Amino acid sequence: MGFRNISAWAIRNPVAPIVMFVALTLAGIISFMRMDVNQQPDISFPAVAVEISQPGAAPTELEMQVTQRVEAAVRSISGVDELSSYISEGNSRTVVQFNIGVPVDRATNDVRDAVSNIRSQLPEGILEPQISRLEMDGGPIAYFSVEAVDMTLEELSWFVDNTVAKTLLNVTGMAQVRRGGGVSREIRVILDPAKMQSFGITASQVNAQLRQVNVNAAGGRAEIAGSEQAVRVVGNAENAYSLGEKLITLPSGQTVRLADIAEVRDRYAEQRNVSKMNGRQVLSFAMVKAKGSSDVTVYDNAMKKLDQLRKQYPKVKFTQLYTSVDYTKQQFHSAIEAMIEGAVLAVIVVFIFLRDWRATVISALAIPLSAIPAFWFMDLLDFTLNNASLLALSLVAGVLVDDAIVEIENIVRHMRMGKSAYQASIDAADEIGLAVLATTMSIVAVFLPVGVMPGVSGQIFKSFGLTVVISVLLSLAVARLITPMIAAYFLKAEGAKPHGDAKWIDGYLRILHWSLANRWKTMGIAGLSLVATVVAFMTLPVTLQPPLNLDSSQVKISMTPGTTLEQTEAVAEKASAILRKQPEVVAAFADINVGSGDIFLTLNPDRKRTSTQFERELAPALREIPDARVTFQSQSGGLGRDITFMLAGDDPDKLYKHSLKIVDEMSKLKELRAPRLEGDTPRPEINIHPRFDLAADMGVTTAALSQTIRIATLGDIDQNVAKFSLSDRQIPIRVSLNEDSRKSLATIQNLPVPTARGGSVPLKVVADVTFGAGPSELRRQNQNRRIVITADLAPGVVEAQSKIDQLPSVKNLPNGINRVSFGDQKIMAELAVNFVIAVISGVLLVFAVLVLLYKRVVPPMVNMSALLLAPLGGAIALHLTGNALSMPVFIGLLMLFGIVAKNSILLVDFALEEMDKGVPRDEAIIDAGHKRAQPIVMTTVAMVAGMLPVAMSITGDGSWRAPMGVVVIGGLILSTLLTLIIVPAGFSLAVGIERRIGGWLSRKLIVGGKDGPVPAPHHPAE
């Protein structure tokens, strides 16, 4: 049993294929119900973060003392792809990205070992290095506020940190629950600078004694009265008052109560974060999902946990402030609706053409029998229901019925010859079997290379390409096993009838006769079409991906270094007030930190402006806010803006000066708004320069200066502070000056510093205290200093990168300065290369399929030349609808290549079969046109109908789907018309050329073969 007559086997043995597809359909339904829903495909590349904190440390010191040493240690690890570091005040974060395929657990252990080896080389004042694999996936999926009438702010904050966080972290896939606003409880030991100076004691000495005194410790074991007892040393104070009564030993040997030199309070830490909703301060928490988990599943399970908390704590009110999950759900439902609507429209088209409800039902069965089992295979491959996989199913909604249409149309044609339904099904299915196989394999050949692309880009498009392949292969199985089998038993034969005699067929045959009689003129039309295609595409704007029309937006606030929390809060309130006045804004939630902040906007779904138009038109008003940089978070920019590119070099000064030149030239481009360097604003500093002669005489070291000043102004690092034990947790005892004392330079100058003799001296005696400035942040890439230049696009502008690349300072980079691709830019550059390779591979695979089918080389070239006819209609449709060339357009063109190849295969395959039976060339071509025009037009109209919901995108955000649908519909309509006219003429020319060249080559080159000469027998000499 060969593939050609597998349909005959299914007709004679109907139980086996029925059982198989019932089982596959049930498996698909179960898998669909189990599959996770995500907005984007899971991109799993191994990456490990090394985070080291040193409170109060300047970025320049952290870079030299911490970051460079960490980078040097991890660079030598096998499999490292790239390093990127970000250094701000008191914090150094290095992300080590490994090549895809490196086990992330092994990578994490290797990084941890490398950092452990250099731990002794790092400064003493750092917190313990935190090494973790990057598990969080993007930003928070939801923000909630918490209110309670029977709790203080501190109690409510602990309720969120303890009860809410623990409950939500039990949800599978929840990576982090992060509190915003609120306070953390601390025992504050607020030192009095004057009393400290009079008693001659320093902040570091007070902190060290509290660590030694206020502690519960193990004391060993005793055996008294015949039993064993554990010995505990209980030194922990019962409350803040008893802590203040503890005695502190002075350097002179005397003692003093802690309360005599400091005010001891049970209160909370200095507030460094505020959350506000529509101008009102709230306590909030954010939920962040882990990599590989579903947005929707994590969110829905978290909602169930919150419902449980509401029942347990009826006086606590939880209010949702923002979520991105609604958009994900909306896109999921919209994609499913588009797929169903497309399928229904395709079935209606079949009925209009065949006007036989039985044949229509048989064709309609192909869609669910192909689409539903696909979910089972997707589940086996660990795919999720994301934009890419659902886009693939929406795209093939019309294609799934394609093979069934070709089969059923051929069966109906045979029935109208006077055959029974049973015999017509066997004969028609056997006749067209290889053509159906070839047409399906043409789509498989185009999309299989896309599904197996390497790298991160391959992970983005793996689910898309393989979902298309799986779906069309299932549609092939349905067309060969189910459609003929049901037709044999369900269709009703009505005797001999004319078929394919519609008026439009007669008109087409007249045009076909003309094209065969004027073959070179027809080829001229093809050449003009190719030229028009090039011109049409060259005049289209180009962008990487179309902007999404989201129901949310995000504003980023960046203040000048040195800004306080109150000043940042005031700017955030100004920005929120401007935003709340807009009719599109439903709610504005602000997450405010010292010197930076984010405003999350919930937009009205029924707004007139798209989210991108709203952002571009409102951006100038936000830029007018003084003393701050307030910008919208761009969908395409790597650091939140539309344009982002990076320069790297060894010489920081040279790099900075050249970057300023580029920014100056960019500011003259009308396509850009507000180009600037990120992190270019210097932060104010108080510089303390030791007087080494005096300091040496008094035994004062630079390390002692640093420790004393840090503890006095900021408090010691968490791992070195004393702890106060509560019944359920330990809280820190923070020793520091009052916040008001830090406002006076004289207070800092008079801070007591310990000497080697046991006494203390004022800071100003052993050091000069001056004002200065330093960088607010530093960035490094692959062990080089890097600078990031960003800008926004002007309203209405789609792309400006090509003009930036032509700027003199960008084209002529000095020696030692390089442009670096990073993050999304690097992924997209890799994607562009892989996509080109995939397209070329797909075209060659289609050619290989055709050569195997025809067992000839020249006719497949006619099919391949038909691919050049595919894009013209798509380009015209893009011009008419105002769309740009983007990634979804290129994907649509891929689908066009596969479909156009299918149409030309149906024509050429039939003509070749007729010619093999001895029918003259032109007669065979005309017969092919007569008998294949209707199935070609039927499948084209069905696919156009199936793509209409995708192109129109009535529900949901069609930013990605619509351009793809437009290019496919436009390309299908025009390429089908051109294929029906140009391919027959080209095939006629190709057959003539093949005969002439083939005969000449066979005479010149082929000397063997079945009919080759037999050598004369050799008779040895006698």
> Is 524 inside a domain boundary?
yes
Give the span between the Cα atoms of 237 and 249, in whole angstroms: 17
Beta strand ranges found along 105-212 (DSSP E): 130-133, 142-148, 174-180, 185-191
Do 478 and 366 fall within a single domain?
yes
Cα separation, 408 vs 422, in Å, equals 13
Looking at residue 35, its pLDDT comes to 87
Secondary structure class of 1020 (helix, strand, coil): coil
Residues 6+ apart with CB under 8 A from 549: 610, 611, 612, 957, 958, 959
Q: Which two tokens stand for residue 664?
A: 């100056």
Q: Which amino acid is at 651?
A: D
Residues 591, 518 share a domain: no
**Pair 996, 944 in one domain:** yes
Tell me what the mean pLDDT of segment 898-920 comes to.
80
How sure is the predictor about 1022, in pLDDT bands with cuts at 50, 70 and 90? very low
Model confidence band, residue 854 (pLDDT cutoffs 50, 70, 90): confident
Which CATH number is 569's domain given? 3.30.70.1430
Lowest-pLDDT choice from 198-207, 327-336, 633-642, 773-782? 633-642
77-102 burial: b if 16+ Cβ within 10 Å, else e: bebbebbbbbbbbbbbbbebbbebeb
Greater confidence, 113 or 802? 113
- The pLDDT tens digits for 195-208 are 888 888 888 888 88
116 shares a domain with 7: no
What gap in Å lies between CA 282 and CA 587, rounded to an integer?
14
- What is the rounded CA–CA span in Å between residue 975 and residue 869? 6
> If pLDDT is split at 50, 70 and 90, which confidence band does 309 have?
very high
pLDDT at position 673: 81
Same domain, yes or no, for 449 and 386?
A: yes
**Two structure tokens written together for 1013:** 């000469």
The alpha carbon of 637 is separated from its chain's Cα centroid by a whole number of angstroms, namely 13
Q: How would you write 304-355 as a 3-class SS string?
A: HHHHHHHHHCCCEEEEEEEECHHHHHHHHHHHHHHHHHHHHHHHHHHHHHHC
Last residue of a domain, one of 775, 795, 830: 775
Number of domains composing the chain: 5
Global model pTM greater than 0.85: no
Q: Is 154 inside a domain boundary?
A: no
pLDDT of residue 222: 84
Which whole number is the average pLDDT over 944-959? 76
533 and 471 in one domain? no
For residue 309, being part of any structural domain is answered with no
> Which range (216-220, 330-334, 831-835, 992-996) has the least confidence?
992-996
Alpha carbon distances (Å) from 116 to 92, 110, 130? 16, 10, 11
Instruction: List, for residues 134-153, the tens digit of each pLDDT value.
Output: 765 667 888 888 888 888 88
Residue 315's alpha-carbon distances to 118, 147, 252, 346, in angstroms, are: 51, 8, 55, 55
Q: Is the pLDDT of residue 670 over 60?
A: yes
Last residue of a domain, one of 634, 652, 668: 634
Q: What percent of the chain has pLDDT over 70?
A: 93
Distance between CA atoms of 160 and 309, rounded to whole angstroms? Answer: 11
Strand partners, 649: 785, 817
Query: What's the CA gap between 393 and 947, in Å, rounded?
Result: 11
Q: Does residue 176 lie in a domain region?
A: no
pLDDT at 824: 59
Residues 921 and 983 in one domain: yes
CA distances from 583 to 278, 578, 579, 609, 696 (A): 14, 11, 9, 10, 67
The rounded mean pLDDT for the chain is 82
* Domain-located, residue 28: yes
| Range 454-469 average pLDDT | 82
- Domain assignment present for 873: yes
Summarised one tens digit per residue, pLDDT across range 386-433 is: 888 888 887 777 677 777 777 787 888 888 788 888 888 888 888 877
Whether residue 2 is predicted with pLDDT greater than 60 in this model: the reply is no
Does 669 map to a domain? no
Query: What number is the average pLDDT over the span 751-771?
Result: 81
Does residue 989 share a domain with residue 874? yes
Last residue of a domain, one of 574, 601, 634: 634
**Residues spanned by the domain of 190:** 185-271+683-775
What is the pLDDT, as a whole number, of residue 302? 93
Alpha-carbon 551 to chain mean position:
18
Percent of the chain with pLDDT over 90: 7
Q: Which residue has the higher pLDDT, 129 or 726?
A: 129
Could you read off the pLDDT of 423-444 as tens digits, one per residue? 888 888 888 777 788 778 888 8
- pLDDT digit string (tens) for 936-946? 888 888 888 87
Q: Indicate if 189 and 266 belong to the same structural domain.
A: yes
- Tell me, what CATH number does 688's domain have? 3.30.2090.10
- Asked whether the beta carbons of 962 and 545 are under 8 A apart, the reply is no
354 CA to centre of own chain: 45
Do 720 and 606 fall within a single domain?
no
788-830 pLDDT, tens digit per residue, is 888 888 877 767 777 888 888 888 888 888 887 766 566 667 7
Mean pLDDT across 126-133? 86
892 and 993 part of one domain: yes
The CATH number of residue 509's host domain is: 1.20.1640.10
Does some domain include residue 767?
yes
Number of residues that make up the chain: 1022
889 with 930, same domain?
A: yes
